[in-house]
Every structure is written in C-alpha cells, then in structure tokens.
Amino acid sequence: MTESSSSTGPEDALARAISQLSAGRLEDAERACAAILSSHPRSFDALHLRAILRCRQGDFAGGVDYFDRALDVDANACDALDNRGNALFSLGRFDEALASYDRAIALRPGNSDLLNNRGNALQALKRHDEALASYESALASRPGHAGLLKNCGNALMALGQFEDALACYDGALQAQPDDFGALNNRGNVLRSLYRFDEALACYDRALSVRPGHPETLSNRGNALHALQRLDEAIDSYAKALSMEPDYADAHWNLGLAKLASGDMASGWKEYEWRWKIADSAGQRQFPAPWWRGEDLRGKTILLHAEQGLGDTLQFCRYAALVRARGATVILQVDRALRSLLESQAGVWQVVVPGETLPHFDFHCPLLSLPLAFGTTLETIPADIPYLHADPEKISRWQEKLGARTRPRIGLAWSGNPGQAKDRNRSMPLAALEPLLGLTAQFICLQKEMRASDADALERHPQLLHFENDIGDFSDTAALVELCDMAIAVNSSVAHLVGALGKPLWIPLAFVPDWRFPLGRNDSRWYPTARLFWQTRPGRWNDVVARMAHEIECG
C-alpha cells in the first residue's frame, strides 16, 4: 500500500525538493518548499533552499529575503551567509555582500572559497589592494589554483602592476591551458605592456576556445589598432558587432578606428555610442531637445562640455559655426576655462556646472557638434586662432618673466593622471632632459606637477615653473603667448596652444590617437602644429632626440 503524502515527514519532503532542484525541476521544488513552510515556517533548511531557488530563478532580491529569514533561525549558518553574499553581489550591493562574506569568514577562517568571494566583492568596490590580499590568502591554502591566480591577475592589472599580473595569468594557464578568461585578460595586460603582437596572438588563442566571442573580437581590434593595422582592426570590430549588434564598446572602438583612418562620416556616427560604454559618465538630461541640425534662427542653444579640458578646448571652436546659424550660444564649461572662453567669438554667455541656466531652446554636447555639422577631413573648422589671451594678463606675466634674452619654449610633458589613456600620452620630465640643456629659456606650462618629477625639477632649476601663480587657463594662455613655441604632449595644454595659433610640437604615442591620423606630421585641427610620433611603443627617447636635433639646427 502506498503511503499518502500527508504522512510524509518534512525530512522526506525536503529530500524530494533537493532532488527536484538537482534535476532542474524548479517549480516542483518551489511547491515542496512552500508545503514544508506552511506547516514548519521556521524550518531553516526549507527557508535556505527556497532562497537558493529564488536565486536560480533570477529573483535575487527574493533570495536575500529568504536567506535573511533562514539566518534569523540560525545566525551562524556559514553556507547561508555565503549564498546571501552571492545574491547581494548579483544585485550590485557589494558593500552588503562584503559584510555577509566577512561574517561567514569569521565562522570559517581561511576558507578559500569565502576568501575568493570576498575578493570579488572588494574588486567590485575598486578596493583592489584589499581584493588582492584576499585572493592571496585563498591561494595560501590552494597554491596554483587557476581561478584564484586569474583573480589575482585581475586585481594586479587594476593596480597597474602589469608584470605581476602577467605572471599570474601565466600561472593560471599553466594549470588550465584553455582557460578562456585567463587568455583574454592576458591579452589585455600584454596590451598594457605595449606588447601588442603577443596580445594579438593571445586573443587569437582565446578565440580558438570561444569562436566569435564579441568582447575578445573587440579586444583583438584594439591590439590591431595599437599596431597601426587599422583596416584589420575595423574588420575585427565589425565581426564583434555581427555577433552582438548593440555591443557599445565595439561600436565605440570602431568609431575611434574610423576617425583615426580619416573616415569621419562613419566615425562620428559610431562615436555617439560613447554614452553607452561601461565607463561613460552618462548622457545628461535637459528639458530642451538635443540639437541635431534643426533651424536655429532666433533660437538659444546650450553647448556643454562632456569630457576633459582638452576636448572642450578643441571643440569649443564650433560655437562660432553655431552662432553663424543664427543662434544665441550659451557655453557651459569647467570653471578653469571660464575666463579664457568668455571672450570667444560667437559665445553670448559662459556658465559653469552648478549655476542656474538661462532659458534655451536646444542643447548639444560639444563632441556631438562634428556629427551635426557633417564634419569631414576637408571641412574641419580651423580658423586659427579662435582663442585669445587677456592682454592685461600678458603684461603681468611679461613683468614676471623679464626681458627676453633667449628663445622661449613652453613645455607640458604630462596631463591629467586620471585620464584613461594617460600612460600613452604623458611622459616623465626626465625624458625631456636632452632638450633642457639647449640654449633656450624653458617655461613650464603645467599648473600641476607629479611627485615622480621632483628629482628632475631639482636637477634643472633653469626650467621656470609657476604652479602656485597660475590661477586658471587664462594665465596659461598668457604664458603661451609669451613663448616662441611650445612642446606639449596630447593634453589640454596642447589644445590650448593650437587654439591660440602658436607654433606647437606634439610628441605622440605609437598608438594612433583619432585626432591625429597616421602618416601625417601636421594637423588639420591645428595648422600651426607639428607631430612627432614614437617609432616604438612606450619609447620617448627617439622623439625627444629628433626634437632636440631640430631645435639645435634652427
């Protein structure tokens, strides 16, 4: 005779629910848990299992609720604390996930899985040093574990310790030669080390494991771009997009490659995907519509900065073109640029973020103006100068500098260290030492110095620097006007010098910047500029030597 379900005990019902979960019969397992909880509402095992079921079904918030109810029954249930942390991690609630893992680790000190999960939460919180320490603690009990070595590599890469990260990925691949994640990330770290050929080979290996993987195809395109093989890079991005048509990073990378190749018509369209990439600040919302070329006669438009100071200086030139369409132009920029841009042609009012905005009928981000105007290589607006230094500030700085006895050369060797690609464009001051021995008066055009340049500054007291006296970019502009020429890396200072129409030499990284297409030593954006490209990735010596030779030869 078959026993009725009503006489089945909760232990048997729970065992069936676990079996159903293992078989993937989630609805049956859910009903079994509900039946147990209807008669035993504080059954820890049923609450815990139901929490796991909710997470399996994608309801992580519901899972957290049931984990909390289970922990209310048994506060020291380590597995529940760990699983709760995983659910919170999936919800992006990383601080709470970390706290849950810490409670579990207090119960099981040294547990490698818990330490690994804790490291993942710390990594998501960008506390990379602490994440690395947690992964290394986990490795102490599981040396050579591929997953832990890979996670150590990820933390080290985020910390900029690329050689150590590479060693971790190599260790992970020694344990698991076809580990896709390790191959892909190893390619990324090789790119950071300027070892682009090796990075490309690594991405190709990863693609042999997972053919058609969009992220790896996009990364492969980045390696080809860095190798100046733009046509192949564009093809790799296109393949990524054939697999995932809305993949924002691939669109963005494709846009940069198109612009670098000179195909601006396609490039500007792809450039609009910048709003959707992971590290984007996000598109700003205004009550007025985005201007995309509508009639502006009698209208007021807000043009607003969106990226770095250099981008603002480069693209504020479009204000005059917008004004020529019959618009009243309001320009919103960083405070450091306000006084310089207040006298720019075509601008009615300059405001800074946080100030009350006057009424406007349209708005447009500065870097979307080239698309709105259909800018091509042949139609880049280069009516130079379009910015001007304040005559009173020029006089003030002339008094500070004194009489000119030698040629004056302005220098800017580094930009904002927080800029994503700063490693590619900035150099240490020591790299410019071959210039500093020449017969000229050198003037630092940077407001801020890096601690790493302190020794070089001490060795070269002839380099005049006024970081404490430079108030904003109107002071920098006055200094530039008093120089015969300037040498500036691809930073805001270079864009300022170019906008002022002063002779400008720009040392450029081997990796192409879209603003400066390959194969040219001049710039359509800045007619007074000369470009000096690296011949080898990461090496500035030959660039500086060429500039020193040209200065010596007059």
pLDDT digits over 141-160, tens only? Answer: 999 999 999 999 999 999 99
pLDDT digits over 494-544, tens only? Answer: 999 999 999 999 999 988 688 988 778 999 999 999 999 999 888 999 999
Q: What would the two tokens of residue 492 be?
A: 């805001």
User: Rounded to whole angstroms, how far apart are CA atoms 218 and 375?
Assistant: 26
3-state SS of 345-378?
A: CCCCEEECCCCCCCCCCEEEEHHHHHHHCCCCHH
Q: Does pLDDT of 451 surpass 70?
A: yes
- Residue 396's CB is within 10 A of a number of other CB atoms, namely 14
Q: Which of 66, 122, 75 is nearest to 95 (CA)?
A: 122
Please give the pLDDT value at position 432.
94
More confident residue, 169 or 418: 169
Please give the pLDDT value at position 231.
96
pLDDT band of 23, cuts 50, 70, 90: low
Please give the pLDDT value at position 3.
38
**Long-range contacts (CB closer than 8 Å, 24 or more residues apart) made by 20-29:** 21/49, 21/52, 21/53, 21/56, 26/53, 26/56, 26/57, 29/53
User: Rounded to whole angstroms, how far apart are CA atoms 460 and 434?
Assistant: 11
* Site of tokens 């020694």: 174
Please give the pLDDT value at position 57.
85
Strand, coil or helix: what is 546? helix
What residues have CB less than 8 Å from 12, skipping those under 6 apart?
none
pLDDT digits over 28-41, tens only? Answer: 677 777 777 767 77
pLDDT digits over 375-412, tens only? Answer: 999 999 999 999 999 999 999 999 999 988 899 999 99
Please give the pLDDT value at position 35.
72
pLDDT digits over 84-100, tens only? Answer: 999 999 999 999 999 99
CA end-to-end span of the chain: 108
pLDDT band of 20, cuts 50, 70, 90: low
Please give the pLDDT value at position 161.
96
What residues have CB less than 8 Å from 480, skipping those under 6 apart?
389, 410, 445, 486, 493, 496, 497, 500, 502
Residue 460 contacts residue 433 (beta carbons within 8 Å): yes
Q: Does pLDDT of 249 surpass 90?
A: yes
Q: Does pLDDT of 4 surpass 50?
A: no
Q: Does pLDDT of 75 surpass 70?
A: yes
* Site of tokens 């029954």: 73
pLDDT band of 21, cuts 50, 70, 90: low
Q: Which of 15, 73, 75 is nearest to 43 (CA)?
A: 73
Q: What would the two tokens of residue 448 be?
A: 């801020």
Report pTM.
0.87
Please give the pLDDT value at position 25.
66
- CA 483 remoteness from chain centre: 34
- Residue 421's CB is within 10 A of a number of other CB atoms, namely 12
Please give the pLDDT value at position 554.
67
pLDDT band of 2, cuts 50, 70, 90: very low
Q: Does pLDDT of 111 surpass 60?
A: yes
Strand, coil or helix: what is 502? coil
pLDDT digits over 275-309, tens only? Answer: 998 766 667 889 999 999 999 999 999 999 998 89
Q: Does pLDDT of 5 surpass 50?
A: no
* Site of tokens 């320490």: 133
Q: Which of 390, 382, 311 is nearest to 528 (CA)?
A: 382
User: Rounded to whole angstroms, how far apart are CA atoms 195 and 223?
Assistant: 9
Residue 516 contacts residue 508 (beta carbons within 8 Å): yes
Q: Does pLDDT of 462 surpass 50?
A: yes
pLDDT digits over 486-497, tens only? Answer: 999 999 999 999
User: Rounded to whole angstroms, how far apart are CA atoms 512 and 517?
Assistant: 7
pLDDT digits over 158-204, tens only? Answer: 999 999 999 999 999 999 999 999 999 999 999 999 999 999 999 99
Please give the pLDDT value at position 312.
96
More confident residue, 123 or 52: 123
pLDDT band of 319, cuts 50, 70, 90: very high
More confident residue, 228 or 14: 228
Q: Does pLDDT of 270 surpass 60?
A: yes
Cα 105 to Cα 14, 98, 135, 146, 148: the distances in Å are 27, 10, 13, 22, 17
What percent of the chain is modeled with pLDDT above 90?
Answer: 76
Query: E-assigned strands of 105-157?
Result: none
- How many DSSP H helices and E strands does the chain contain? 27, 9
Average pLDDT, the chain: 91
Residue 541 contacts residue 431 (beta carbons within 8 Å): yes
Q: Does pLDDT of 445 surpass 90?
A: yes
Q: Which of 448, 469, 266, 288 is nearest to 374 (CA)?
A: 266
